[in-house]
Amino acid sequence: MNQAQAFSILKAGANVYLTGEPGSGKTYLVNQYVSYLRENGVEPAITASTGIAATHIGGMTIHSWCGIGIKTKLDRHDLDKIASTKYIEKRINQTKVLIIDEVSMLPPETITMIDLVCREVKQNSEPFGGIIVIFVGDFFQLPPIIKIKNENNSQNSLLGNKSAHFAYDSPSWERANLAVCYLDEQFRQEDDNFLSILSSIRRNSFKNSHLCHLETRKVEYHLTPNNIPKLFTHNIEVDRINDEMLSNLKGESKIFNMISQGHDIFTASLKKGCLSPETLYLKIGATVMFTKNNPVKGFVNGTLGVVEEFNQIGNPIVKTRNGMKIKVEPMDWTIDENGSVRGRITQLPLRLAWAITVHKSQGMTLDEAVMDLSDVFEFGQGYVALSRVRKLSGLYLLGWNERAFQVHPEILAKDELFRSLSNQIEIEFAKISPIELEKIYQNFITVCGGESKPRKNKSRNLNYFGKMRDKKCNTYDETLILWNQGKTISQIAKTRGLKEETVLNHLEKLVLSGKINRADISRLITPSLSYALAEIYAAFYELKTKSLLPVFKKFKGAYSYNELRIARMMLKE
């Protein structure tokens, strides 16, 4: 299933499990869905299983959101206390759509507790109290941490005593009747050979031939490049290397302290998940990594660089690996709830990047990395580390153990089921006509208390494409209907028998006429193109042109005309 098909299912208001391999664009699609809901007057609850994952999507941990905190079980007293807490009650009652990212890191008991709390607060026996739930994650990645202990009073628990390990083992997962959307496109890895290695690990078909390729990337520590991240499985190694490398640089460290605003509960959650440290020590020459996304300024979470100097007010100027110089300014991490900020932390979006842990690398995209996988201790840890980099030539391996290339055996069988369910929903959804889909989208927004934006040239005047119409509809409006249905450029072109360049020209005309919001075009921007946007924008401004040819020549064909046209559509007048 591609992103557009999954987006269409999300817009229809189904409970969804959104999954796919690393680099398939899960977080990107969630952000597009959030933007769509907000544009139509619906404010979703955005949560994640960990603080780090929460910062990637601009939300809070699910534990904070529903008030369960660190609890591993609920009795009647616990449930009554949580449900009667005013801000929890208000938060849940106002929620129509709940997003939980990195769901693979939640044990089944947590899923059940979330369901119990939502049903109790809503006084609604439907799964999750009738809230639309969107689970996002990949069970091949890092599993939940299971604390094994004897619960003597388990007879009072409302969760049951089933022995289970993964979120999908919760009976609440089954009752939610989730539509599985398995993304099968790949936007991170640029190397087919390397992609084959990752796929072999994922499908438990890793062979000596794959190992031979990885062995070509094995190096001794003293021969590794200096200014690229080093991934380790344990914090002690990470801290030792970063401290050692910083102390080897000349001069005194400049200190940047994090600023906090809001309730301690929220700021503590933000601090725990923020990849930038509370106290950041920097020197000229320090290798750093950006910890937030800002494609317009030229960086995303994982962009690498070196501190070149400090400006007049003391902020660092970082030169990225592609030669771009960025004046780094403090940025905010916030927890928003119903339009108001409940917590905010402010810090430079940087961290020292000589070394990081595999756990903290999850969600990042790296051009190059040194990895030591000799102490991998859990299923999926090696897979997460390897899948951070774009291509085999960007990988430097210090060592590995047998567990490094293993994924959980139970997940292998479950993954086949998820793929099958995704194929089924894709086939069923394709049977729904474009006109009916539009009605479904609008009904969902209405039920959520939002208001669908009115569209000109309503599709009620049309039968299915290629058939006779009751009223004349121009070629741009035909493209618009398919666009509103969530189709990709290639799908629109195939359906209409047009070239993709022609479809993009239609979209640009529709943007200029106001029939498509400029922000909606962002769904065409793949993760790989997002890295180049700042550079392309700068070229249009530098050349003082809106024409594609001069920009195409400037980059000597590095970016296609289609990519440049998409970027141009995003430029404000």
Task: Give per-residue pLDDT as tens, 249-268.
Answer: 998 999 999 999 988 888 88
pLDDT at 477: 82
Spatial CA neighbour of 341 closest among 332, 330, 350, 328? 332
Q: What is the pLDDT of residues 27-44, one digit of tens each?
A: 888 988 998 999 899 999
Q: Is residue 474 one of the residues assigned to a domain? A: yes
Mean pLDDT of 278-297: 86
Is residue 143 within 8 A of residue 379, CB to CB? The reply is yes
Residues 6 or more apart in contact with residue 349 via CB below 8 angstroms: 276, 290, 291, 292, 294, 299, 328, 330, 331
pLDDT at 103: 92
Residue 163 predicted with pLDDT over 60: no
pLDDT at 521: 81
Band of residue 118 on the pLDDT scale cut at 50, 70, 90: very high
Q: Which of 127-136, 186-195, 412-421, 456-465 has the highest mean pLDDT?
A: 127-136
**Of 187, 221, 254, which residue sits at a domain end?**
187
Q: Which residues of 107-141 are buried (b: 16+ CB within 10 A; e: fewer)?
A: bbbbbbbbbbbbbbbbeeeebbbebbbbbbbbbbb
Query: In the structure encoding, which two tokens stand for residue 193, read together?
Result: 């050979």
pLDDT at 373: 93
Rounded CA separation 380/391 (Å):
19
pLDDT at 472: 42
* Enclosing domain of residue 42: 3-187
Mean pLDDT of 358-370: 80
pLDDT at 219: 92
pLDDT at 467: 34
Residue 301 predicted with pLDDT over 80: no
Band of residue 145 on the pLDDT scale cut at 50, 70, 90: low
Query: In the structure encoding, which two tokens stand for residue 163, read together?
Result: 């022995």
pLDDT at 214: 92
pLDDT at 409: 84
Q: What is the pLDDT of residues 55-82, one digit of tens each?
A: 556 677 888 889 887 788 888 888 999 9
pLDDT at 456: 41
pLDDT at 53: 61
**Of 141, 157, 187, which residue sits at a domain end?**
187
Residue 573 predicted with pLDDT over 60: no
pLDDT at 457: 39
pLDDT at 464: 28
Q: Does 398 or 61 have the greater pLDDT score?
A: 398
Q: Does 540 or 154 have the greater pLDDT score?
A: 540
Q: What is the pLDDT of residues 416-470, one digit of tens each?
A: 899 999 999 999 988 888 889 999 999 999 999 988 765 443 333 323 233 333 3
**Strand pairing category for 179-183 and 132-136:** unpaired
User: How high is the mean pLDDT of the chain?
Assistant: 83
pLDDT at 158: 57
Rounded CA separation 232/177 (Å):
38
Rounded CA separation 194/50 (Å):
29
Q: Is residue 241 one of the residues assigned to a domain? A: no
Q: Is residue 364 one of the residues assigned to a domain? A: no
pLDDT at 33: 92
Total domains in the fold of the chain? 2
Band of residue 528 on the pLDDT scale cut at 50, 70, 90: low
pLDDT at 150: 42
Q: What is the CATH number of the domain that holds 500?
A: 1.10.10
Q: Distances from the Cα of 437 to the Cαs of 171, 371, 373, 430, 524, in angstroms?
A: 30, 47, 48, 10, 21
**Of 162, 187, 212, which residue sits at a domain end?**
187
pLDDT at 274: 84
Spatial CA neighbour of 422 closest among 36, 31, 24, 20? 20
Residues 6 or more apart in contact with residue 543 via CB below 8 angstroms: 550, 551, 554
Residues 6 or more apart in contact with residue 496 via CB below 8 angstroms: 465, 478, 479, 482, 503
Q: What is the CATH number of the domain that holds 84?
A: 3.40.50.300
Band of residue 406 on the pLDDT scale cut at 50, 70, 90: confident
In 179-279, alpha helices (H): 192-202, 208-215, 235-248, 264-273
Q: What is the pLDDT of residues 310-353, one digit of tens each?
A: 999 999 999 987 778 899 999 998 876 655 777 889 999 999 98
Rounded CA separation 451/444 (Å):
10
Rounded CA separation 369/341 (Å):
36
Beta-carbon neighbour count of residue 554 at 10 Å?
Answer: 16
Spatial CA neighbour of 465 closest among 496, 436, 487? 496
Q: Is residue 370 one of the residues assigned to a domain? A: no
DSSP-derived 3-state class of residue 271: helix
Residues 6 or more apart in contact with residue 90 via CB below 8 angstroms: none
pLDDT at 343: 86
Spatial CA neighbour of 300 closest among 31, 60, 98, 554? 31
Rounded CA separation 427/417 (Å):
16
Band of residue 187 on the pLDDT scale cut at 50, 70, 90: low
Q: Is residue 142 one of the residues assigned to a domain? A: yes
Q: Is the dihedral of CA 200, 204, 205, 211 positive or negative?
A: positive
Mean pLDDT of 10-39: 89
**Strand pairing category for 279-282 and 350-352:** unpaired
- What share of the chain has pLDDT > 90, as a percent? 32
Q: Give long-range contacts, CB 8 A cutoff, 24+ apart: 65-72.
A: 65/91, 65/98, 66/92, 66/113, 66/114, 66/117, 66/118, 67/117, 68/110, 68/113, 68/114, 68/117, 71/113, 72/107, 72/109, 72/147, 72/151
pLDDT at 470: 38
Residue 246 predicted with pLDDT over 90: yes
Query: In the structure encoding, which two tokens stand for residue 432, read together?
Result: 């729904």
Q: Does 164 or 475 have the greater pLDDT score?
A: 475
Q: Is residue 22 one of the residues assigned to a domain? A: yes
Q: Is residue 374 one of the residues assigned to a domain? A: no
pLDDT at 271: 86
Q: Give long-range contacts, CB 8 A cutoff, 24+ apart: 272-275.
A: 272/51, 273/48, 273/50, 273/51, 273/52, 273/53, 273/54, 273/55, 273/61, 273/333, 274/51, 274/52, 274/55, 274/333, 274/345, 274/347, 275/52, 275/55, 275/301, 275/351, 275/360
- What share of the chain has pLDDT > 70, as a percent? 87
Q: Does 445 or 105 have the greater pLDDT score?
A: 445
As a whole number of Å, the end-to-end CA separation of the chain is: 35
Q: Is residue 436 one of the residues assigned to a domain? A: no
pTM above 0.75?
no
